[in-house]
């Protein structure tokens, strides 16, 4: 009878990921939303002693169901989308922002820059922040985990958009906050690393990485569309929409995104239970043998090409938008 009860309990829990429980201090209740977010961002560490930690029981380390895995990946894709939307939601309005007197929301002064220089400078501040963040976020996520770094970017974007809206009356404070917001807009490198972790074959990795890049491009276009649709609401009102979308993405990923190490551990446990060996990646990829050492010459050429492509495309954007301010 007891054995049957235990099996029923385990069967119910297989449809869940990991259910956090309070510390074994005799207290009841559940962990609040703020506590859950803080625990994830601090990688489960707390300064208040062992009783403050969320402890995992042995029976809670179960196999992750395909449904939960799919939900986690979809949340990751949505995070990439909303981060791209929030980062580009003001782009069509940049030329009008720096044209004093052309719109009630325009900056009163952009000294020492003229119109053309200011049109380039505003988006440059955001892109500079993104470039710096992208250089460090990937390595940081290797040590701290993909999920904490992704949530750091999303919640930072929420706060950054709100602060940009508050500082919308002055050119230089807005640009400073635009740079700071760019430092949090680095969800794409983390998402690509996540895709490389959880997909086992090269074919699956390439497909997911391509999809994530496409979702990011879709979000970039979506941000501009939202700004155009909200032109009657003011130049900076889209920032509030971007902040709201980023908050939704952050909350979804807080509760539904699964760390890659948990997914890999689940697959390993499942194969052990079924008596299967690990899949041979070479066979899955048609016999393609992956390199064991990094070719730095090829990597340098790729980086230089990517840098040139981004410089050209980023510089073309304000150049194309500038004539719109004169019409």
pLDDT tens track for 121-156: 988 899 889 889 988 888 888 888 899 999 999 999
Q: pLDDT digit of tens for each residue in the chain (327 aa)? A: 444 444 444 444 444 444 343 444 434 444 555 665 556 555 555 444 444 444 544 434 467 788 888 999 999 999 999 999 998 898 888 888 888 878 888 999 888 888 888 888 988 899 889 889 988 888 888 888 899 999 999 999 999 999 999 999 999 999 999 999 999 988 999 999 999 989 988 889 999 999 999 999 999 899 889 988 888 888 899 999 999 999 999 999 999 999 988 888 888 887 777 776 655 544 455 555 666 777 777 777 877 877 777 666 666 655 665 555 455
Measured between alpha carbons, how far is 154 from 159 in angstroms, rounded to an integer? 9
Q: Are 57 and 21 in contact (CB under 8 A)?
A: yes
Strand partners, 55: 21
- In angstroms, the CA 44 to CA 302 distance is 37
> Distance between alpha carbon 263 and the CA centroid of its chain, in Å?
19
Alpha carbon of residue 58 to chain centroid: 31
> DSSP H helical segments within 46-170, as ranges?
66-88, 94-97, 115-144, 146-166
> What is this structure's pTM?
0.72
User: Could you tell me which residues are beta bridge partners of residue 151?
Assistant: none
What dihedral do alpha carbons 173, 178, 179, 183 form, nearest 10°? Answer: 140
């Amino acid at each position: 009878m007891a054995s049957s009860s235990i099996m029923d309990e385990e069967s119910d829990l297989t449809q869940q990921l990991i259910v956090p429980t309070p510390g074994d201090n005799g207290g009841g209740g559940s962990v609040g939303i703020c506590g859950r977010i803080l625990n994830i961002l601090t990688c489960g560490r707390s300064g208040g002693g062992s009783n403050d930690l969320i402890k995992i029981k042995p029976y809670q380390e179960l196999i992750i169901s395909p449904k939960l895995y799919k939900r986690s990946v979809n949340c990751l894709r949505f995070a990439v989308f909303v981060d791209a939307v929030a980062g580009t939601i003001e782009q069509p309005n940049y030329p009008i922002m720096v044209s004093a007197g052309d719109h009630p929301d325009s900056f009163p002064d952009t000294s020492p820059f003229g119109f053309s220089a200011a049109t380039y400078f505003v988006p440059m501040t955001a892109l500079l922040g993104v470039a710096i963040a992208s250089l460090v976020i990937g390595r940081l996520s290797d040590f701290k985990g993909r999920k904490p770094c992704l949530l750091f970017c999303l919640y930072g974007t929420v706060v950054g958009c709100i602060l940009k809206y508050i500082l919308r009356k002055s050119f230089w404070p807005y640009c400073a906050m635009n740079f700071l917001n760019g430092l949090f807009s680095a969800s794409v490198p983390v998402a690509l690393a996540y895709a490389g972790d959880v997909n086992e074959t090269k074919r699956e990795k390439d497909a997911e990485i391509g999809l994530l890049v496409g979702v990011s491009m879709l979000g970039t276009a979506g941000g501009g569309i939202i700004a155009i649709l909200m032109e009657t609401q003011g130049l900076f009102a889209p920032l509030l929409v971007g902040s709201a979308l980023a908050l939704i993405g952050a909350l979804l990923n807080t509760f539904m995104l699964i760390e890659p190490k948990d997914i890999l551990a689940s697959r390993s446990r499942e194969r052990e239970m079924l008596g299967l060996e690990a899949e041979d990646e070479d066979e899955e990829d048609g016999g393609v043998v992956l390199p064991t050492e990094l070719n730095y010459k090829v990597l340098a050429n790729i980086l230089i090409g990517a840098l040139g492509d981004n410089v050209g495309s980023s510089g073309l954007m304000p150049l194309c938008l500038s004539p719109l301010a004169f019409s």
